[in-house]
Amino acid sequence: MPLEAESRLRWFCEGDGWFYYQENMDVSGLPCSFIKVVLIGSSCFDELEIDARSSNDDLFFAKGKVVLLNSKESQAELGWTSYPSNGWEEISGVDEKYKPIRTYQVCNVMEPSQNNWLQTGWIWRQGGQRIFIELQFTLRDCNSIPGVSGSCKETFNLLYAESDWDLGRVTREDRYSKIDTIAADESFTQGDLGERKMKLNTEVREIGHLNRKGFHLAFQDVGACVALVSVRVYYKRCLSTVQNLAVFPDTVAEAAFSTLVEVRGSCVNNSEVDTDSPPRMHCSAEGEWLVPIGKCSCSAGYEEGHSSCEGKKHSSTQNFVV
């Protein structure tokens, strides 16, 4: 059977929109052809979401974040650490779109003094300074469970532990710092189960000013009936773009919400910087480019084209003597 060529996508951004090259690789791994595809209607100020577990050449297109963990994308067992063993349990389920997913649930509401821990694997933060944690979960209404009174809770705790390496499968509670207590906006009842209604809650929390290479997340149950449907961890950055004939590189958003990072642009080929007003932009904490200042200008003999400077085309004329 002959070997097939492979394809890779390379994303770029110019002043008027995102585009990618589909790079076709031959069996030796060398590029053999390119196809340019423009995303009509998109803008460089629309963001891309990149799956950080992929290579730089295989980027996932979505909206504006570098994803460090997405439990919904797992095709196999998540294999997180559950302690004690009769606490959090990993099961197969479906999300709100009936897509197969791996989830964790716990429902030891009949017994008091619960302290059940679930620890994720080690998450490399890469360059992220401000990390976002998006949780999707369902939670049972305690009033719909007879005979539980004070032992049933309707919250759980979200925690994290920084480290330069994987802490392994031993959960040490004293290493963890609490991020927040998570409560549901909507809880479900026995009636909802009968009608197959999924009351899905989404909560986003953030941590900042991290100093170590990575971290673990932990979920502490103290007596709730809860299912973790999705855990997504990401950070934001301003992606490389071309503006006013200047190239601005990928820039990680700062941890402080009010901080703007000033970034100097580099003039595109065959252009020169305006010495009175060199090109600059500001990367916001939300991963958006703001406040473009200054510009580059095409050098003599060149004219502005598609976010570039191109050689001027001289039309030839012929003189006829009558």
**How high is the pLDDT of residue 17?**
47
Cα separations (Å) of 192 from 74, 197, 199, 236, 316? 28, 5, 8, 37, 78
Quote the CA–CA distance of 87 and 139 in Å, as a whole number: 15
Single out the residue of 119, 78, 118, 70 nearest to residue 224, CA to CA: 118
Q: Is the pLDDT of residue 125 over 70?
A: yes
Name the band, by pLDDT with cuts 50, 70 and 90, for residue 23: very low
Residues in a beta bridge with 216? 161
- Residues 31-42 have pLDDT tens digits of 333 344 444 444
CATH numbers and ranges of domains, the chain:
1-64 (no CATH), 68-235 (2.60.120.260), 238-309 (2.60.40.1770)
- Residues 183-241 have pLDDT tens digits of 999 998 866 665 566 789 999 999 988 999 999 999 999 999 999 999 999 999 888 88
Question: What is the average pLDDT value for the chain, to the nearest integer?
Answer: 79
**How high is the pLDDT of residue 212?**
94
- Residues 51-66 have pLDDT tens digits of 554 433 333 323 368 8
pTM for the model stands at 0.72
Quote the CA–CA distance of 142 and 149 in Å, as a whole number: 8
**How high is the pLDDT of residue 315?**
56
Q: Is the pLDDT of residue 5 over 50?
A: no
Q: What percentage of the chain carries pLDDT values higher than 90?
A: 49
Q: Is the pLDDT of residue 47 over 80?
A: no
Of 19-28, 71-80, 100-109, 224-233, the one with minimum mean pLDDT is 19-28
- Residues 279-305 have pLDDT tens digits of 999 998 888 898 899 999 999 999 998
Quote the CA–CA distance of 305 and 12 in Å, as a whole number: 17
